[in-house]
Structure 1
């Protein structure tokens, strides 16, 4: 399954991406304000950091879905969208994003 299709599927089928972006943007902006004024990022760079964080989430979801489809007796064959719907993966992802909180390392 192409990663871009997965991203689009998640974006259309749930609020997980929106929820993640709202929280990650607040986190990255707070992190940015802690930098020395001369080293602070502009809005574009902050947005790119959030995009990179989301890309890591999508990559993780992709890996987990592909592994689950290979391990189980999968009646859906290669139809990952039906597999995700049948296993309520969007709902689970949306719930995870709503419970997500970022902390400083």
Structure 2
């Protein structure tokens, strides 16, 4: 599975990415507004920060799915899309994105 394939699969089969982007963008914009005026990021840099956050989540999901498919007796073989649907990983991920809230560290 490639990161780009996972991204496309999630985007096509759930609202998780849209939900994440909506919340992450609000978070990054609020964080940016707290910066000194001379150090504030432009919209492109804010968007890139959101993209980076999404890529980190995708990387984490990919690792977890790969590990889960290796650990179990996996009747789905290499079909990670079917594995994600049948084991409700996609559904649980979408639900967790709807419950997601960001706080500054």
TM-score grouping bracket, smaller chain normalisation: over 0.9
Q: Aligned-pair distance for 1:85?
A: 1.0
Q: Tell me by how many angstroms 1:101 deviates.
A: 0.3
Give 2:102's aligned residue: 102
Q: Give the Cα separation in 2 of the matches to 1:90 and 1:75.
A: 18
Distance 1:12 1:88 in 2: 16
Q: Which runs of 4+ in 1 moved over 6 A?
A: none
Q: Does residue 64 in structure 1 map to residue 44 in structure 2?
A: no
Q: What is the Cα deviation at residue 88 of structure 1? A: 1.1
- CA deviation after TM superposition for structure 1 residue 42, in Å: 0.1
Who is 1:37 aligned against?
A: 37
Gaps spanning 5+ residues in structure 2: where? none
1:65 and 1:11 mapped to 2: Cα distance? 17
Matches within 5 A, 1:41-60: 41-60=41-60
Could you tell me which residue of structure 1 aligns to residue 8 of structure 2?
Answer: 8
Post-superposition CA distance 1:25-78 (Å, at most 9, x none): 000000000000000000000000000000000000000000000000000111
Deviation (angstroms), 1:90 = 1.1
**RMSD over aligned Cα atoms:** 0.4
- Other-structure match for 1:27: 27
Shift of 1:84: 0.7
Q: 1:83 offset after TM fit, Å?
A: 0.6
CA distance in 1, matches of 2:99, 2:85: 21
Q: Cα offset for 1:93? A: 0.5
